[in-house]
Structure 1
Amino acid sequence: MTPMPRAIRYTLLSLRDLLASAGPFAFLAIGLLVLAYLWLDPTPPKKVTLATGPAQSAYDGFGKRYQKALAADGIEVVLIQTEGSSANLQLLREGKADLGFVQGGSSEAADTEASGIESLGSLFVEPVWLFYREEAARKVTATASLTGLAQLQGLRLNVGTAGSGVPILMEKLFEANRVDSKAITVSRLEQTPATVAFLGGEIDALVF
């Protein structure tokens, strides 16, 4: 039997000594990495709750589209119908929803950050629609057209429910335009009753 060359023997002995000394540290490092992975859980959740809005609203429609898209990746999305933006924000603050649609301008940034809520980005442009009756406009202008928010003073205006986010947004717009909101008869009906009241002449203008 040919004896093992000295160089090879010394190399094997060195490797054995290295494993004996560094092996425990290597196993410890691997164990810590495994624990960190399990604790951080970087994989997407299998189930999330999404606060949307009233039935048949734009938020409700977008929620159903996200539900279908994420289902293809094995993620179950449970939709929560709400009054709208402000209600969604409240559910997020209370931890009763994982995700939610929130209208820009319907909340204070400082309050949102203090609640630990983060924005994933802007999804779409959401205009504020103001509809008014021509005969109502003639009460405050010489024509049948309103050209500024100040002309709403003296009229009956529906701004939507408190949970929709529109009332807060309108207050900010009134303040920015120096409009005395107390001079406006404000109602907070839901969209369908508000539309019926508007068509029936019970309110002069409404905001969506």
Structure 2
Amino acid sequence: MDFIRKNIYSPSVIGVAILLLGLILFAVLWILVPPPPRSIELATGFSEGLYQQFGKKLQHQLSGEGVSLTLKTTGGTRDNIALLDDPNSGIDFALVQGGVADISKYPNLVSIAGIFYEPIWVWYREAAFKKEGGRLSLLSQIKGKRVSIGSDGSGTLALTMELMRVSGLSVDDFRAEKLRPDEALAKFSSAELDVVFLVSAIEAPLLKKFYQIPDIRLMGFEQADAYLTQLPYLSKVKVPRGVLSIAQDIPRQDMKS
């Protein structure tokens, strides 16, 4: 006891005590609050889509911070949600289209932030709507038409089906095809489709390929406000005239999407 009393205030003893205390505190924090991961896997979407492009930009930025980001291409939003919900998938984060996930079914998923608006684009052939003066203004007009509604696992398919539901339509009312955007583009270009539904941000390179197809037009949602009352997770976005192509004047008027 005398030895302890004599040395307890010794600078070397105090230094050792502080070091031990620091090590214990570090160990506790390491267990309770682990350091951020240095390797992350992100589910994006189609290899040619905007989600993939965004993922590549993020991948480049994080590499400068010493973080390795692996990108996983998928069929789209629904696939991404399934991967996030699967504890064995290895997916840490995913880009997901707003309004697709039912929160009650996925209580463990957390939304971090909104990144950009993704309008729903409804492209159509004027020739397919001759009786309507070459103009598609209501979804009820697509009855009997050849329509691409999005591919399995995509947010486009999920939103299209919801729009059909509140419009009083079913897939039996028209000739539906579940196609990826690139597949829809190819069939639309060869006149094998009358209408194509596509959910994408305005910056997506694929949009440019659509408006380069001759004799196609973009539908404006004249009932946009009515759809918002039925599907409140949607937002009304104004698409200015000529924003896709000033030279080709597409769209030819301000649109609601």
Please classify the TM superposition score into its range, dividing by the shorter chain length. 0.7 to 0.9
Contact in 2 for aligned 1:153/1:181 (Cα 8 Å): no
Which residue identity lines up with residue 69 of structure 1 in the other structure? Q
Q: Which has the larger radius of gyration?
A: 1
Q: Are residues 1:135 and 2:118 paired?
A: no
- Deviation digits for residues 91-128 of structure 1, max 9, x if unmatched? 11113210110011222222222xx1111011110111
Secondary structure of 1:162's match?
coil
- The aligned counterpart of 2:249 is none
> Matched residues in 2 for 1:169 and 1:135: separation?
26
Q: Following superposition of structure 1 onto structure 2, how do residues 27-106 of structure 1 map, counting pairs within 5 Å?
A: 33-95=25-87, 96=89, 97-106=91-100
Which residue identity lines up with residue 92 of structure 1 in the other structure? L
Q: Which stretches of structure 1, 4 residues or longer, exceed 4 Å deviation after superposition? A: 26-33
Which residue identity lines up with residue 186 of structure 2 in the other structure? V
Secondary structure of 2:147's match?
strand
Higher helix share: 1
- The aligned counterpart of 1:23 is none
Q: Following superposition of structure 1 onto structure 2, how do residues 1-208 of structure 1 map, counting pairs within 5 Å?
A: 33-95=25-87, 96=89, 97-113=91-107, 116-138=108-130, 141-208=131-198
The alignment-based identity, stated in percent, is 29
Which residue identity lines up with residue 137 of structure 1 in the other structure? F
> Matched residues in 1 for 2:20 and 2:165: separation?
61
> Matched residues in 2 for 1:174 and 1:158: separation?
13
TM-score of the two chains, using structure 1 as the length reference: 0.79
Worse-superposed segment, 60-69 or 81-90: 81-90
Structure 1: which 5+ runs fail to align?
1-12, 17-25
Secondary structure of 2:176's match?
strand
Contact in 2 for aligned 1:107/1:168 (Cα 8 Å): no
> Matched residues in 1 for 2:128 and 2:32: separation?
59
Q: How many residues align?
A: 183
> Matched residues in 1 for 2:36 and 2:20: separation?
27
Per-residue deviation at 1:190?
1.7
